[in-house]
Amino acid sequence: MAISEKKLKICNKGHKYYKSSDCPTCPTCEQERKPANGFLSQLSAPARRALENNGITILQQLSKFSEKEILQFHGIGPASLPKLKTALKEEGLSFKN
């Protein structure tokens, strides 16, 4: 298997970073936009982006989806579900059945 070579990239804000993939996500920008609190702050960046890209930014929106539907989003994996379930439960909500 070939080793991927990391390439220098510069985001629109001028941050420099190295990536071996074609992923355009700047780690510095991603860290800057991470929420300080709330359920989205508990998730990895890919999981957070997956929810945001599907219009889910509050728990009430999340509760309209089933676990199976959420797992279909690119960026959401099984490790995210316990955090999401806990956040929903704390607000008296749950995933759609």
The phi and psi torsions of 16 (rounded to 5 degrees) equal -100, 135
**What is the pLDDT confidence band of residue 24, given thresholds at 50, 70 and 90?**
confident
Residues 61 and 42 both lie in one domain = yes
Q: Which residue has the tokens 């749950």?
A: 94
- Would the pLDDT of 37 be above 90? no
Give the torsion through C-alpha atoms of 35, 67, 94, 46, to 10 deg: 0
User: pLDDT value at position 35?
Assistant: 82
Give dist(CA 4, CA 1) in Å, integer.
9
- Would the pLDDT of 77 be above 60? yes
Residues 19 and 45 both lie in one domain = no
Residues 61 and 83 both lie in one domain = yes
Give dist(CA 21, CA 48) in Å, integer.
20
- Tell me the residue range of the domain where 29 lies: 1-33
Residues 54 and 13 both lie in one domain = no
Give dist(CA 46, CA 35) in Å, integer.
14
Residues 51 and 81 both lie in one domain = yes
